[in-house]
Amino acid sequence: MKKFFSTALARGLFWQVIGTLVGAGLVTGIRWAMGLSTTIDNFFFTEPAWVMGGFFGVLFFLAGNGSVTDWYKWARGIDTPEHPEEPWTGWERYLHVSLDHKVIGVQYTVTALALIAIGGLFALIFRTELATSGLKFLTPDLNMFGQTGLQLYNTLMSLHGMIMIVSILLGIAGIINYVVPLLLGAQDMAFPRLNAFSFWIAVPAAVLLLMSMVLGGFDTGWTGYPPLSARAPVGVQMFFLGVFTAGWSSILGALNVIATVVRMRAKGMTAWRLPIFVWASLATSIIALTATQLIGLSFQLVMFQRLFGMGFFDPAKGGNPVLFQHLFWFYSHPAVYVFVLPGLGVISELLPVFSRKPLFGYRWVAMSSLGIALVGFLVWAHHMFTSGMNEYLRVPFMYSTLLVAVPTGVKFFSWVATLWKGKIVFPTPMLFVIGAIVVFLLGGLTGPPNATVSVDLHLHDTYFIVGHFHDTIFGGFVFPFFAAIYYWFPKATGRRMSEFWGKVHFWMMTPSFFLMTFGMMRIGLLGMRRRIADYDPMLGFDATHMVLTIAGYLIGLSVLIFFINFFYSIRNGEKAEGNLWNSRSPEWQVPSPMPVHNYEKPFEVVGEPYDYGLPGSKYVEFSSSSQGKHH
Amino acid sequence: MSHILDKTSALRQGVVIFIYLAVLTALEFFVAVTFESVFFLVLVAVIKAALVVYYYMHIYKLNEDSPSDEHSYGYKTGTSRLGLWLFLLSDAFVFAGLMTVRVNLLGMTRPDLSQDLGLLVTAVLLISSFFMNRGETAMAHGDKKGFMVNTSITFVLGLAFLIGVVAVEWPQAASHGITPASGTAGAVFYMMTGMHAFHVLTGLIFLLVVLNNGRKNLYSAEKHWGVEACAVYWHFVDLVWIFFYPALYLIGAAL
Amino acid sequence: MRHFVVVGIFVIVVSILTYVGLDAAELMPEQASAQAVSIDWLWDLQLVAMSFLFALIVVPMAYSFIVFRRRKGETGDGEHIEGNTGLEITWTVIPLVAVLGLAYLGAYSLGDISRVDPNAMVVNVRGQQFAWIFEYPEYGIVSDELHLPVNRQVVLKMESPDVIHSFWVPEFRVKQDVVPGRVTEYRITPTVIGAYKVRCAELCGSNHYSMINDVIVQSQADYDAWIAVQSELAAASQTPEGIGQRLTVQYGCTGCHSLDGSSRPTGPTWLGLFDSQRQLADGTVVTADEEYIIESILEPNAKIAAGFQSPSLMPAIPLTNEEIEYIIAYIQTLR
């Protein structure tokens, strides 16, 4: 226990609490000196005090847990060792600040899994309410966390969305950070301290998001549209601040990935010999680096509207509510490609290994990731067809949105062609890859109806949309995330997860998910709106809702099984120290668990990455002399 | 194009570019108060920006060959340079977003600000960039004293800009009824200048750090990445203002 | 090649089965507007495309899992096929042409549903937290029910005093947001007589789920009759109760307070309200007299009735003292 309190995690959280009090106290002091109100009934501090508190909390967390110590020393002109000593072993290692991308990758992944559990729990709570018509426990006279049952429904639903989104950003960061340096033959990421910082800033961000629950919640959905968000309870400020902070993690992480891919490649690794997952990571990072600033800006403007009366989106002051939507979606659409491009990259990376065949049309697949990223910047207003924006914008955005289908189609056809004439095997990672393809296909196919304006006028804000994005997210992230974990777990630990329980996870999750998504889309078409705590029994949706709730619980159970498998197998899994999947990729040519400095002997790229079936071909060759000395 | 110049030529180039920038700024002001061509004002801003990005921020250095040893200072500096430019690319999106807000909410109007005061603070910032360039050039040629003097002047001018905006312009605007809560013109003005001022503040802190380390003789002609990074960041702050200045003070009818 | 023939046949079969299955599932509500026709037609076309594309991907995959799986004892890898440029170009160009075609049809459909009838009648709509209010400018009628004559285009001019809402009748298909600070238009030509519901389709706060009003599509004759009755009521009701009743509709009171005694989570019913003994949330009991009602309107949070949420959902309603008197007169009639 004492060990825990000395960890960077515990220290950070401690200092976050102190920082929150200092920030809130500071503002309260200034307000008192200015003769303004200093406390409000429900939440003790005023809203500006909580905002400053939240902000200071993040700063104190980072300063207090050691994430910025080296940079501070550099600013003072003091040199620090390039590879500092990291004496901790076992689980302790992951609770301290480490510069090792492999440790950071695991930290990201485990945090993502924790957020998936929390976000999933929130969903199960409101799914239980929605299982039948008629409010049961989230009722107007319920009073919990300073919210009525109806407000609590909105808060749970909104947090489910945003917590899951943050879990996706952390999950992709986890896989990318662990795997990309290994694929490139690098010792670490280009900027290891920035890497550690990018992870650690996500922790106070998650705390802020969860804090909204006890500050009155918020009733706006994760999209936070004003004017509703301008008049929402104080909790919405924690939501805005939490997202802003998480955005920094995403931006700086992406910066690191781009620099690493450009500057840290092994000899002979030309562009067309990069592993396909690296192309995917690059495309994702280009979007995350740039577009993320716009959600930060849009939220900042609402925060300032609330704090200082700056009427950006207040019609009474000449403001424009629709402007918020343009700014918000300019990020939030490309964001969904951030969510799925890595997962699609995982599919492309793993299919050749399990089909024993080259990735069909590798260069086209590589370019398709960049193509999706580029076109993805041009489609945002398809979320706004009913918004009252200028009429003439609707048709161009319909065209651009439908265009995304072209590079996406290239991937699907390539995957099918990769499987064709292969020698296919079906271990657990492959099952999740296949599940990912089929589920993402559903997501992709339900896209065009949303893209065509007239049909979207019926579908917008219904459960059809909810079904569509759960398809794309499960297919593009959730399934590939599990595939990647099952696949690379042996590389990280030297053991494999249970195949049996992995299959149970898959066969429980997948049919449940299909039931859930088809059910959602059906009632959406028939009139079920989104984001409602209750629905009219006359609509006849009760039976389907019950199915959705049961499916949700089954998915939750399957994920619980995964968690148990994951944690149990770290110490007790079947040993797997060699090239378990018979992959050509360099990280599998060295023993598992991965050595601390990755490749003692550097490798040179001498062939194509996916030349399975070509006798005598090699992808990488390790040098005979041990030149892997780290400086 | 210019690559490795000797010290005299480099300093002279810095002066020449500054003269171009100053002339263009004067031209901008003249056009804005006489015949107000939006196209012309945008064009001038783009030209000024190109000059700053190429000559002061020396973006071409991204394309420089790095030593082959990945663990050498030279190679790592190249990687850090890429990292810095990626950061600036990201930051640029915030300011582009703010411009979008300004265009959407204010259109062909602008806040009723003092154009004279605007020109003054703009000149101060531009001159500070001139001295930053001199300071960086000095250090690149091992001239520690030149570095300290010029960079200190940069700091003073930068501080003057910050005070000019926050402690003079803001109160003056408020006394004319332009407050954060007075309407979209006020909201846009304070948000744009506020975000920019925040970056000026962080730039000033960066300058202090670099001055302090320079004082301790930690930089040399061969190893002064901190100085280069500070200079490029400072010029970026100037670059943003090259666009914000006409957007707030020159384009459109005063409300 | 045998493989391609078998797969081809199965793709066609599965496409047809999928489409037939989806079509039989009756996924769209009743088609009750002229605009719905174009939307349903485009949707149906896309259903065909979705069925085909689903089969096109899933069938070869399933086939591969069976025919190209590694058999027990087999070693060795799959066939070394790196790619095929011709195929890549084909499956880039054909989808490109297809999506451009679909976009064109989409634009056509949008034009179709946006057709303006110069003789369209106008109804003003206010969407507010948490009710819809309909005003017929020609007749000076205000109602909490939207009555429409069948087969005639109506343009709703919609405003909101608070947050973004969205007007949607699933049977009509079309949806349009209501945005504070501007007037948005909703053009619809109802084609089937019947009773529908308009349900707010943009999250607008804690009672978004119950922001629902009636939409009644009637024959021209029945519609005219309703207008006549409403106009008469409006004109004749210069009594305090009559004026009061109109005010309650105009300000959306009946969005949250029922008149027939039915309980709603949004506010106490008005049936039998006046002079009744009222239990408050804090346990005390008061008489719901004139003073109580005046206070309830002007300071909704002064007293919260038992079983309702605190702080109160009730917005500030800009009523004059005279108007409040009329409303009280009306409430007194509700026994």
Partner-chain residue, chosen from A140, A412, A529, that has the shortest CB–CB distance to C57 = A412
Instruction: Tell me A529's DSSP state.
Output: B
- Looking at residue C124, what is its pLDDT? 97
Q: Which of A76, A101, A136 represents a domain boundary (last residue)?
A: A76
The answer to whether position B53 is within a domain reads yes
Structure tokens that stand for B2 in this block: 């210019």
Which chains lie within 8 Å of chain A at 3 or more CB pairs, if any? B, C
Does pLDDT of A627 surpass 80? no
Please report which confidence band the pLDDT of residue C305 belongs to, taking 50, 70 and 90 as the band edges. Answer: confident
Cα A501 vs. chain centroid, distance in angstroms? Answer: 25
| Closest C-alpha among B114, B59, B77 to residue B239 | B59
Handedness of CA C269, C275, C277, C280 (dihedral sign): positive
The answer to whether position A620 is within a domain reads yes
Task: Determine the residue of chain C that is closest to A228 in CA distance.
Answer: C163
Please report which confidence band the pLDDT of residue C1 belongs to, taking 50, 70 and 90 as the band edges. Answer: confident
The answer to whether position A138 is within a domain reads no
Q: Does residue A609 have a cis peptide bond before it, meaning omega lies within 30 degrees of 0?
A: no
What are the mean pLDDT values of chain B's consecutive 10-residue runs (255 residues total)?
76 96 96 91 96 96 89 94 98 98 96 94 97 96 96 98 97 96 96 98 98 96 96 98 97 87
Query: What percent of chain C shows pLDDT beyond 70?
Result: 99
Question: CA angle, corner A516, sides to A511 and A519, nearest 5?
Answer: 120
Does pLDDT of C287 surpass 70? yes
- The C-alpha atoms of residue C207 and residue A153 are separated, in whole angstroms, by 11
The answer to whether position A130 is within a domain reads no
The answer to whether position A351 is within a domain reads no
Task: Determine the residue of chain B that is closest to A316 in CA distance.
Answer: B183
Are residues A441 and A528 part of one domain?
yes
Query: What percent of chain A shows pLDDT beyond 90?
Result: 94
Query: What percent of chain B shows pLDDT beyond 70?
Result: 99
SS3 content of chain B, % helix, strand, coil (to 5): 80, 0, 20
Task: Determine the residue of chain B that is closest to A189 in CA distance.
Answer: B79
The answer to whether position B2 is within a domain reads no
Are residues A623 and A573 part of one domain?
no
Backbone angles phi, psi at B131, to 5 degrees: -70, -30
The answer to whether position A114 is within a domain reads no
- Looking at residue B3, what is its pLDDT? 56
Are residues A538 and A427 part of one domain?
yes
- Looking at residue A626, what is its pLDDT? 53
pLDDT digits 0-9 by tens, B149-186: 999 999 999 999 999 999 999 999 999 999 999 999 99
Across all residues in chain A, what is the average pLDDT? Answer: 96
Cβ pair A510, A436 in contact under 8 A: no
What are the residues facing C185 on neighbouring strands? C157
Please report which confidence band the pLDDT of residue C320 belongs to, taking 50, 70 and 90 as the band edges. Answer: confident
- The C-alpha atoms of residue B221 and residue B240 are separated, in whole angstroms, by 29
- Looking at residue C278, what is its pLDDT? 85
- Which residue reads 């589920």 in tokens? A439
Alpha-carbon distances of A244 from A163, A166, A241, A319, C87, rounded to whole Å: 13, 11, 5, 22, 44
Q: Which domain holds residue A609?
A: 600-631
SS3 content of chain C, % helix, strand, coil (to 5): 40, 20, 40
Are residues A565 and A434 part of one domain?
yes
- Taking the CA of residue A123 and the nearest CA in chain C, the distance in Å comes to 17
Structure tokens that stand for B195 in this block: 């975000």
What is the 3-class SS of A434-477, one letter each residue? HHHHHHHHHHHHCHHHHHCHHHHHHHCCEHHHHHHHHHHHHHHH
Are residues A608 and A497 part of one domain?
no
Q: Does residue A407 have a cis peptide bond before it, meaning omega lies within 30 degrees of 0?
A: no
Are residues A465 and A588 part of one domain?
yes
What are the residues facing C195 on neighbouring strands? C216
| Closest C-alpha among A616, A585, A596 to residue A100 | A596
Q: Which domain holds residue B131?
A: 7-254
- Looking at residue C261, what is its pLDDT? 84
Partner-chain residue, chosen from A292, A308, A312, that has the shortest CB–CB distance to B101 = A312
- The C-alpha atoms of residue A533 and residue A539 are separated, in whole angstroms, by 15
The answer to whether position A41 is within a domain reads yes
Alpha-carbon distances of C141 from B172, C211, C231, C246, rounded to whole Å: 52, 21, 6, 9
- Looking at residue C245, what is its pLDDT? 84
Interface residue B90 vs chain A (CB under 8 A) = yes
Segment C62-87 shows an average pLDDT of 94
pTM: predicted TM-score of the whole model, two decimal places: 0.94
Task: Determine the residue of chain A that is closest to B81 in CA distance.
Answer: A259
- Taking the CA of residue A329 and the nearest CA in chain B, the distance in Å comes to 12
pLDDT digits 0-9 by tens, C124-135: 999 999 999 999
pLDDT digits 0-9 by tens, C193-203: 999 999 999 99
- The C-alpha atoms of residue A344 and residue A408 are separated, in whole angstroms, by 10
Cβ pair B110, B251 in contact under 8 A: yes
Q: Which of A27, A50, A76 represents a domain boundary (last residue)?
A: A76
Task: Determine the residue of chain A that is closest to B96 in CA distance.
Answer: A294
The answer to whether position B99 is within a domain reads yes
Q: Which of A22, A48, A76 represents a domain boundary (last residue)?
A: A76
Interface residue B86 vs chain A (CB under 8 A) = yes
Are residues A573 and A452 part of one domain?
yes
Are residues A566 and A457 part of one domain?
yes
- Taking the CA of residue A269 and the nearest CA in chain C, the distance in Å comes to 18
Cβ pair A263, A278 in contact under 8 A: no
Cβ pair B222, B150 in contact under 8 A: no
Please report which confidence band the pLDDT of residue A628 belongs to, taking 50, 70 and 90 as the band edges. Answer: very low
- Looking at residue A223, what is its pLDDT? 97
Are residues A509 and A608 part of one domain?
no
Total of domains in chain B: 1
ipTM of the complex: 0.96
- Looking at residue A588, what is its pLDDT? 97
The answer to whether position A625 is within a domain reads yes
pLDDT digits 0-9 by tens, A163-183: 999 999 999 999 999 999 999
Tell me the chain C residues in contact with residue A398 when contact means C-beta distances shorter than 8 Å: 103, 106-107, 110
pLDDT digits 0-9 by tens, C247-263: 888 888 887 888 888 87
Across all residues in chain C, what is the average pLDDT? Answer: 92
Are residues A429 and A546 part of one domain?
yes
Does pLDDT of C303 surpass 90? no
Please report which confidence band the pLDDT of residue A624 belongs to, taking 50, 70 and 90 as the band edges. Answer: confident
Does pLDDT of A71 surpass 60? yes
Task: Determine the residue of chain A that is closest to C59 in CA distance.
Answer: A416
Contacts of B111 (CB under 8 A, 6+ apart): B173, B178, B185, B186, B188, B189, B248, B254, B255
What are the residues facing C218 on neighbouring strands? C149
Integer Rg of chain B from CA: 19
Please report which confidence band the pLDDT of residue C30 belongs to, taking 50, 70 and 90 as the band edges. Answer: very high
Q: Would you call A263 and B91 a contact, using CB atoms and an 8 Å cutoff? A: no
CATH number at residue B216: 1.20.120.80
Please report which confidence band the pLDDT of residue A629 belongs to, taking 50, 70 and 90 as the band edges. Answer: very low
Interface residue A251 vs chain B (CB under 8 A) = yes
Structure tokens that stand for A513 in this block: 């998910």
- The C-alpha atoms of residue B116 and residue B137 are separated, in whole angstroms, by 32
pLDDT digits 0-9 by tens, A360-416: 999 999 999 999 999 999 999 999 999 999 999 999 999 999 999 999 999 999 999
Let me know if chains C and B touch, i.e. at least 3 Cβ pairs under 8 angstroms: no
Beta-strand ranges (E) seen in A269-403 are: none
- The C-alpha atoms of residue A322 and residue A328 are separated, in whole angstroms, by 10
Backbone angles phi, psi at A217, to 5 degrees: 65, -170
Mutation site for A-interface testing, chosen from C129, C173, C309 by largest number of A Cβ within 10 Å: C309
The answer to whether position A169 is within a domain reads no
Partner-chain residue, chosen from A190, A263, A297, that has the shortest CB–CB distance to B97 = A297
| Closest C-alpha among A556, A167, B157 to residue B149 | B157
Cβ pair A344, A476 in contact under 8 A: yes
What is the 3-class SS of C128-143, one letter each residue? ECCEEEEEECCCCEEE
- The C-alpha atoms of residue A480 and residue A512 are separated, in whole angstroms, by 17
Instruction: Tell me B59's DSSP state.
Output: G
Structure tokens that stand for A572 in this block: 């007790």
- Taking the CA of residue C297 and the nearest CA in chain A, the distance in Å comes to 20
CATH number at residue A506: 1.20.210.10
β-strands B253-254, B109-110 pairing: parallel
Segment A484-509 shows an average pLDDT of 98
- The C-alpha atoms of residue A220 and residue B81 are separated, in whole angstroms, by 41
C320 CB neighbour count, 10 Å cutoff: 8
C226: left (phi over 0), alpha (psi -120 to 50) or beta: alpha
Are residues A586 and A477 part of one domain?
yes
β-strands A495-496, A574-575 pairing: antiparallel
Contacts of A308 (CB under 8 A, 6+ apart): B180, B181, B190
B192: left (phi over 0), alpha (psi -120 to 50) or beta: alpha
Total of domains in chain A: 3
| Closest C-alpha among A197, A325, A172, A327 to residue B93 | A327
Does pLDDT of A630 surpass 50? no
- Taking the CA of residue C88 and the nearest CA in chain A, the distance in Å comes to 7
Are residues A472 and A555 part of one domain?
yes
